Chain A
Amino acid sequence: MQDLYLPIAAGVFALVVVALAVVLVRYRARPERAARPTRDHYSVDAIVALVLAAIVAVLVAVTLRTNDTETALARPSFRVDAVAFQWGWQFSYPSRPGVVDRSAPGRPATLHVPAGTTVEVSLRTRDVVHAFWIPDLRFKRDAWPRKTARFDLRFPAGTAAGVGHCAQFCGLKHSDMVFFVDAMDPARFASWSRAKGGRA
């Protein structure tokens, strides 16, 4: 997506800036030359409109396809129940009954997940709207009162520690509503799970 949007944006920006620079140098007022009266060329407008429409068509087509694959739910290998509240997070794991990671004052919760596989998150809120954002995964989703949002996350293989934020303003301690992410390789995840009393 980025690889498509950024070059086009950079190209358009460069085109406009260069065009402006050329025009400013070429048509700067000089004593010996008067401005030419404007003549409209609506064919130029039509061509520009068609070119832009074609670019838009490509961008939208790619966007829609990517959006479908990114938001489609695959068969998950691990599930997480995430609950947002003012001002913290609680993560529990349906396949590991009794294992709960919950924020305490001054100590953010940690989300434990296996790396390299599909993790399905069920996201709820206990009060106002919050948003679950893991910048490293470039994905966020809002938690809405009385609704459950379901989405897949896929952490790259290998062990990685990261951070997540609440992105939706939710009151006084919105700034503090962070959580840690511990994505573990399968062996470490199994030992974490055993230590917590769950199955590997």
Chain B
Amino acid sequence: MSATVTPPFAPVRGLVGLAVGTDHKGVALRLGTAAFGFFLAGGVLALLMRAELAQPGMQVTSRGGYDQFFSMHGSTMIYLFVTPAALALGMYLVPLQIGAAEIAWPRLNLMGFWLLVLGGLVMWSGFLTRNGAGSAAWTGEYPQSAAIATPGPGMDLWCAGVALAGLAGIALAASQLATIAGRRAPGMTLLRMPIFTWSMLVTCLMTVASFPALVLAMGLLLADRHGVDVFHSAGGPAAYQNIFWFYGHPVVYVMFFPFLGAVLEVVSTFSRRRVFGYRAIVISLLVFTALSMSVWGHHMFTTGQVANGYFSLTSTMLAVPAGLEYLAMIGTMVGGAIVLRTPMLFALGFIVQFLVGGLSGIYVASPPLDYHVHDSYFVVAHFHYTLLAGSVFGLFAGVYYWWPKVTGRLLFERLGRLHFWLFVVGTNLTFIPQFVLGYDGMPRRIADYSPAYGWAGWNTASTVGAGIVAFPSWSSSSTWR
């Protein structure tokens, strides 16, 4: 007599499997692919914006079109690319790293994937409506996002899409948290978990703690746009900003920690030794997470409606845990035998370029300095150094590093190096001029500027840089799938 063992979820193959398969590796690949698709779509919008700004005057689009481009660029990159890419990395690797047979709550996890895809499609479907897509920036600040200032279904679809993406984040993060809490293999104590899993643990903690505020803000905004007086009172606009940024700052670290974790793994592997100061990293991640929930007001220094001193203190304090993470990355290399393969190059690029974003972050955490550069291209340069020149380098480090494990195939080392160097040149050429432009007085979110300001040269340089960034992104997309 033979006994057969039926797995709790029999693998489903084929097209149906792509829709309903719950294996965490499969869902993670689908989520990663979707996120990469949104990366390319958001990148096209970035190129259109850079083409418009290269010279004074309107050459590429209209003002209204430009407002949709920058709103949808930011929304796509944050809600639909970096956040889901970070969670996809964790979804694939966390169960493997801690010896779990399967991710916890696999159906919730699968639902998270579909909610994200749906949210993205809903958001982008705005382009098909009469007034176009959402055009009140990625933040949807009130009353610019109110029905009277930004009428039309495109903005409603934006609210609904962002809410769906927020729900997706909660579902995905909850599954990974439950996996870490309950599915670790015997002997895998918390302080034995690989550092990438630790980075996902704190990422998911921040996600479940802060994303509900985003869903709330979007639900209330949608209601407000349809006749319910939610934010219309004197304190309403500030209430919206407080709720939104309560999500909006922790998400910055949701889009940072997984890549920091990936970079630590890469640095460790390519230095041929384990990470330096494991417990200090864990403590710094936890301190960072705790602080991340109390820094949102630094987005509101110029509103005159938050305690600037308090938020300056908490924001500047982030330098301490961040410094320990840098010590860990460099300390791991000291005494190692460093091999400079493509993942390691991207990890080194992350370390240097994220530092520019971090140090300029300390600068803008000081209200007297922020009063000048807030809402200028200086801030645009700052957060693109953290997100594109930082986190995306960390993402590529991870993708190049784990690619052979996932696919069973090695990548072309030479193409990887070319990709890396084009990215280094492109990101710096794009964003260094933006520091200069912002400090010189160029506000963000403008479609046009007077030739009298003398900004054309720097803007042209920035546009050329964006073209260089785009090149490897397109070519890698064609070689990867």
Contact = CB atoms under 8 A, between A and B. Distances in A.
A100 interface: no
A27 B271 contact: yes
Contact-residue size bin, chain B (C-beta under 8 Å from the other chain):
35 or more
Interface stretch (B40-48, B207-215, B329-337, B471-479): B329-337
Contacts of A147: 234, 304-305
B449 A175 contact: yes
A135 B63 contact: no
A75 interface: no
A42 B331 CA distance: 11
Interface stretch (A60-68, A90-98, A110-118): A60-68
Contacts of A13: 355-356, 359
B243 to A, nearest CB: 16
Contact of B351 (A1, A16, A138, A146): A16
B371 A165 contact: no
Interface stretch (A32-40, A76-84, A188-196): A32-40
A72 to B, nearest CB: 12
B67 A63 contact: no
B141 to A, nearest CB: 7
A36 to B, nearest CB: 4
A165 B455 CA distance: 15
Q: Is the interface of A mostly helix, strand, loop or mixed?
A: mixed
Contact-residue size bin, chain A (C-beta under 8 Å from the other chain):
35 or more
A16 to B, nearest CB: 6
Contacts of A172: 63-64, 67
B445 interface: yes
A29 B302 contact: no
Contacts of B272: 29, 34-35
A1 B368 contact: yes
Given A20-B351, A42-B279, A167-B443, A59 B362 contact: yes
29 contacts: A13-B355, A20-B333, A24-B340, A27-B338, A28-B338, A29-B337, A35-B271, A37-B273, A38-B274, A38-B332, A44-B327, A48-B324, A60-B313, A60-B317, A70-B371, A128-B144, A129-B141, A138-B371, A139-B371, A140-B374, A141-B302, A142-B302, A144-B237, A147-B304, A167-B375, A167-B443, A169-B67, A169-B137, A172-B64
Interface of B: 63-64, 67, 136-137, 141, 143-144, 146, 149-150, 234, 237-238, 271-280, 302-305, 308-309, 312-313, 316-317, 319-320, 323-324, 326-327, 330-340, 348, 351-352, 355-356, 359-360, 362-363, 366-369, 371-372, 374-376, 440-441, 443-450, 453
